[in-house]
Structure 1
Amino acid sequence: MRIAMVSEHASPLAVLGGVDAGGQNVHVAALAAALAGLGHTVDVYTRRDDPGLPPEVDLCPGVRVRHVDAGPPEAVPKDDLLPWMPQFARVLVDAWAHERPDVVHAHFWMSGLAAVQAGEATGVPVVQTFHALGSVKRRHQGAKDTSPPGRVVTETTVGRRVAAVVATCTDEVTELSRMGVPVGHVRVVPCGVDVAHFSPAAAPAGPPRREPVRLLVVGRLVERKGVDTVIDALADLPDAELCVAGGPGADDLDGDPEVVRLRARATARGVADRVHLLGRVAHDAMPGLLRSADVVVATPWYEPFGIVPLEAAACGVPVVGSAVGGLLDSVVDGRTGVLVPPRDPQAVARAVRSLVDAPVWAAATGRAARERAVRLYAWERVAAATAEVYATVTTGVGTRDGVGTREVRAV
């Protein structure tokens, strides 16, 4: 099968850790590679954000990244890219007129906007993964939500028009239903994890331990990730240190606004000497860092899926996570980790203490997490399930509710 993926802002070649570079980049790169491993060929279309990028780059055998000229060839915040989606769609139409894919898989709502327009023009069925929904973002961020006006309405329109929606967790299905997207063509296929790279065999690494208990947070340094909740929890965990991996490189941390905010928070709580901001950590070093922790903590306000809990699970490390979004699926409360309410430092502290004070149970939790990660979330399994969705739409495009017959417009 020839597959086109559209990921307008999240290039699979991006360096992770920036504000707009995270789980979606990992997902697109790993899913494309796993699909190629099953014998498919994949072209990933992503926006050119650097004039020096070549037109095409081979990511791995069977996967080609194609840079699309849409907007200025420079870094642009993803929420500012909407005006260039018609141009992006025109490039896709031209490309698919010469080399038609069997199916298109769009990642993120703006990608869906461009992909549906191009798919209608070329007769190619489109599958959509949102990765994050504007209705959820607006609910939790309020006035801080920087999404363009009309995002939620456009997401609903895209969701109704594509041949299928691939949701990454069951919580997303509920949200899509509330938006008015027919759940009959929604399929749940989770994000995956490289269970060979992230493994209990990884030798613990990272900075020297300074306290008996090490907590680890990994992810982009943005407010909604809830790192401040873990900092606050340290006040009730006097024997614990917190390592935070993510954001800019270690040499550039001082200029990052979120780093400044988190350091001030740690100082105000009297725990600054036990909070260690590591900056960006290389992918190859991440398994060892995860294995150095007693508990990996992921306490976002909301999370469309969340890759880090899976990476920790694959390494056999128990997770304390917010009971939100994808974590409701990926963390089995009391069995592979502990779920807590978001923005509740006391609950985080109690959950961490329950694990570190019961090392036999914590070890069993880690083993159960690893077994479940291998069984449900290995990329080979996720790719096979995704390919099954592709197979269902390649023979039925245009037969449901006018799919493939009307133009999608941003509003």
Structure 2
Amino acid sequence: MRILQVSNGYPPRAFGGVETHTQRLARVLHRKGHTVRIFTRHSDPEGSDGDILEEVVDDLAVTSVVNDARGGQFRDHFLSTAVATAFRQEIRKTRPDIVHFQHLIGLSGDLPMIARDAGIRCVATVHEYWYACHRVMLQREDLTPCEGPLQRDCVACVSGEAASAAEPSEAGRIRTRLAQLLPWSPARAAGPLVADERFQTLRQALDTYDRIVTPSKFVIEELHRQGMPMPTLSTRAIALGLPTPSKEATLSRTEPISESHPLRITFIGHLLPHKGPHILLEALQELHDLPLRLALHGRRWEQHPYEAQLGPLLREEPRARAYGIFADEALPEILARTDALVVPSTCPESFGLATREAMLAGRPVISTNCGALPESIRQEQDGLLVPGEDPKALAAALRRLVEEEGLLARLSEGARSAPIASMEHYADAIEGFLYA
């Protein structure tokens, strides 16, 4: 089968949950005998929107189009003539049997309709909430949760009016400015007609897909609540598969926690507010008497206003170190050097890829109970769940790992027995449902 995978980015030019998952699935499908191509985007400040780069990654043909939304309008963030033109060229040239849309952010919301009009079957993995929420993670400009449905007030959210009204103080204005500069934020405000156009375009995209999978039941329920219901018979929640780690990577520590052998905890993800690294660092301040060490792995946005909050916390905590971006191949080694993963997210996570990766390696997870994370973590069996945005509760859970005899070993053993599909089994499920 000729399969075109469409993603908002692709390694090695982009690293993130969706990008990494797309690469993993493409590799497995290729090994299973399918002809797999990638259509994606990248940024190029010196290029022009619509410029096309053809390359080969892991023996797979990758077509990447430049799209930096240089027009600066809200509409440019969900519809792009340049991307649509490049996509038409791609499907005319390669004639795929099926187009599997992993993500459309940074591309163009009309690509599914273009493929359908060309007589090509379209399916999708809906990884999170972008179809309903322009900010992806259901948080307002001031980083407070959006209660939805979004059609009522997304215009105010884009323009910053909601944040200004809710929090007019100087601190609130700083938080609003911080939120406006998040990577997915549009550069200019949207009017009601454009906001409605976005909603209708992406609603139509969902209706265009023959079949849809999501990584969790929570995503289906939340999109339904946000006014984006998906057909019951053609939508299924299938947890993402993961590469099988080596036996060596799953070995747990044997020595007791002490000053010479501290508890090793790890954070994996973008160092941005919705991922909550500041919550974790604040929790460490409550644990100054305990032997522990924190490694943070993920992109650090040093020019981002959030750095004004994160930077001092890192400098004041000698037990913490930020290591930056890492390649997918480095993950087993990172997990081999940790005792537990910490997920302090403040947003409603749609799956928790790092959570499953840690448990597959026999590492328990200490996490907030936001979004779909409780679907992945069995409380007191393979991890501990705490309320979101509560450093003291997170600190109490970490203290238990150090002071409660046998807890770390018990949770580690539970993590090893967690029901997690391999990437091969996941590909079988995708073939059997999406591609059937």
Q: Scaled by the length of structure 2, what TM-score is found?
A: 0.75
**2:13 matched residue in structure 1:** 14
**2:153 matched residue in structure 1:** none
DSSP-derived class of the 1:35 partner? helix
State which of 279, 286, 291 in structure 1 corresponds to 2:331: 286
* CA–CA separation in structure 2 for the residues paired with 1:10 and 1:272: 34
Deviates more, 1:116-125 or 1:135-144: 135-144
- Structure 1 residues 87-140: Cα deviation after superposition (integer angstroms, max 9, x where no partner): 322332233234321111112244572431221221112112232314464642
**1:176 matched residue in structure 2:** 223
- Alpha carbon RMSD of aligned pairs, Å? 3.3
AA in 2 matched with 1:187: R
**1:44 matched residue in structure 2:** 38
Displacement of 1:286 in angstroms is: 3.1
C-alpha contact (below 8 Å) 1:225/1:299 kept by paired residues: yes
**1:5 matched residue in structure 2:** 5
Q: Scaled by the length of structure 1, what TM-score is found?
A: 0.79
- Structure 1 residues 296-333: Cα deviation after superposition (integer angstroms, max 9, x where no partner): 10111122222211221122111111212332222222
Equivalent positions of 1:362-401 (< 5 A) are 362-372=408-418, 375-392=419-436
**2:164 matched residue in structure 1:** none
* CA–CA separation in structure 1 for the residues paired with 2:72 and 2:242: 27
Deviates more, 1:215-224 or 1:109-118: 109-118
**1:157 matched residue in structure 2:** 204
**2:55 matched residue in structure 1:** 57
* CA–CA separation in structure 2 for the residues paired with 1:296 and 1:256: 25
* CA–CA separation in structure 2 for the residues paired with 1:316 and 1:264: 33
State which of 55, 59, 63 in structure 2 corresponds to 1:66: 63
C-alpha contact (below 8 Å) 2:128/2:137 kept by paired residues: no
Deviates more, 1:279-288 or 1:39-48: 279-288
C-alpha contact (below 8 Å) 1:217/1:296 kept by paired residues: yes
Displacement of 1:388 in angstroms is: 1.7
DSSP-derived class of the 2:429 partner? helix
State which of 238, 247, 253 in structure 2 corresponds to 1:189: 238
- 1:128–1:15 Cα change, 3 Å: closer
State which of 95, 98, 101 in structure 2 corresponds to 1:100: 95
C-alpha contact (below 8 Å) 2:287/2:395 kept by paired residues: yes
* CA–CA separation in structure 1 for the residues paired with 2:261 and 2:312: 21
C-alpha contact (below 8 Å) 1:244/1:276 kept by paired residues: yes
State which of 314, 322, 338 in structure 2 corresponds to 1:277: 322
Displacement of 1:81 in angstroms is: 5.3
- Structure 1 residues 327-350: Cα deviation after superposition (integer angstroms, max 9, x where no partner): 222222221111122111122122
**2:269 matched residue in structure 1:** 219
State which of 28, 33, 48 in structure 2 corresponds to 1:34: 28
DSSP-derived class of the 2:380 partner? coil
**1:246 matched residue in structure 2:** 298
* CA–CA separation in structure 1 for the residues paired with 2:82 and 2:246: 38
**1:395 matched residue in structure 2:** none
**2:279 matched residue in structure 1:** 229
C-alpha contact (below 8 Å) 1:198/1:311 kept by paired residues: no
* CA–CA separation in structure 1 for the residues paired with 2:354 and 2:92: 39
Mark the runs of 5 or more structure 2 residues left unpaired by the alignment: 142-156, 158-178, 254-258
C-alpha contact (below 8 Å) 2:212/2:434 kept by paired residues: no
Flag the structure with more relative contact order, 1 or 2, with Cα contacts below 8 A and sequence separation at least 6: 1
Mark the runs of 5 or more structure 1 residues left unpaired by the alignment: 17-21, 393-411
C-alpha contact (below 8 Å) 2:249/2:335 kept by paired residues: no
C-alpha contact (below 8 Å) 2:265/2:339 kept by paired residues: yes
- 1:256–1:214 Cα change, 3 Å: farther
- Structure 1 residues 204-238: Cα deviation after superposition (integer angstroms, max 9, x where no partner): 9xxxx977222211111111001111111113222
Displacement of 1:57 in angstroms is: 2.5
* CA–CA separation in structure 2 for the residues paired with 1:128 and 1:85: 19
* CA–CA separation in structure 1 for the residues paired with 2:417 and 2:27: 23
- 1:83–1:180 Cα change, 3 Å: closer
- Structure 1 residues 128-156: Cα deviation after superposition (integer angstroms, max 9, x where no partner): 22323144646423353625745444433
C-alpha contact (below 8 Å) 2:78/2:109 kept by paired residues: no
- Structure 1 residues 16-61: Cα deviation after superposition (integer angstroms, max 9, x where no partner): 3xxxxx1111011111111222221211101253469984323224
* CA–CA separation in structure 1 for the residues paired with 2:203 and 2:215: 17
Percentage identity across paired residues of the two chains: 24
AA in 1 matched with 2:12: L
State which of 383, 388, 400 in structure 2 corresponds to 1:337: 383
DSSP-derived class of the 2:80 partner? helix
* CA–CA separation in structure 2 for the residues paired with 1:127 and 1:41: 17
Deviates more, 1:95-104 or 1:48-57: 48-57
AA in 1 matched with 2:245: A
- Structure 1 residues 153-197: Cα deviation after superposition (integer angstroms, max 9, x where no partner): 443332222212211111001012222423412111222322236
DSSP-derived class of the 1:14 partner? coil
C-alpha contact (below 8 Å) 2:52/2:86 kept by paired residues: no
